[in-house]
Amino acid sequence: MKNFKFTINGNEYDAEIIGIEDSTAEVSVNGVTYSVEIDRKLQTIKTPKLVRTLAVPSTDSHPSVSKTANPSAPKGTGNIKSPLPGVILEIYVREGDDVKIGQKLLMLEAMKMENIINADKEGRVAFIKVGKGDSVMEGDILIVIGE
């Protein structure tokens, strides 16, 4: 349990408390085990157990529904979804614009950080479902890209 080093009258002692039950402690001093009676009863301190409730997702979508677009999905059509909750700061494209993979679409502020959302597919911007200053939640559709 606990180790101690003592020097008494120039002699060094290595003491280890092996265990404590009720008012008796088992102590090892320089390798010799002793049973020591304690004059008061010790109370064992119990560490509280932390129990957390199950986390509730921030969106209504089912866990099996992906929250972002899948890069391996067929190119040319699909939705660009918000990867996390935040506020739209800038929109860099307009409806009807042709976009390529990796092109900047919009800037999302989340947790006081600016995040650039890039296109993960090629195509034409069919709809922009958000405006500058709009608050979005994780998984919300931001932009629809069509052929």
User: In angstroms, rounded to a whole number, what is the distance separating the alpha carbons of residues 129 and 144?
Assistant: 8
Q: What is the residue extent of each domain of the chain?
A: 2-37, 78-146
Looking at every residue in the chain, the average pLDDT score rounds to 81
Whole-number percent of the chain with pLDDT over 90: 26
Is the pTM here over 0.85, yes or no? no
Phi, psi of 72 (to 5 degrees): -85, -5
Q: Looking at domain 78-146, does it have CATH number 2.40.110.10?
A: no
Handedness of CA 24, 27, 32, 37 (dihedral sign): negative
The two structure tokens encoding residue 110: 């989340």
Residue pLDDT, tens place only, 133-146: 999 998 899 999 88
Residue pLDDT, tens place only, 22-78: 778 888 888 888 888 877 655 666 777 667 666 655 545 555 555 555 665 555 468
The two structure tokens encoding residue 63: 């866990």
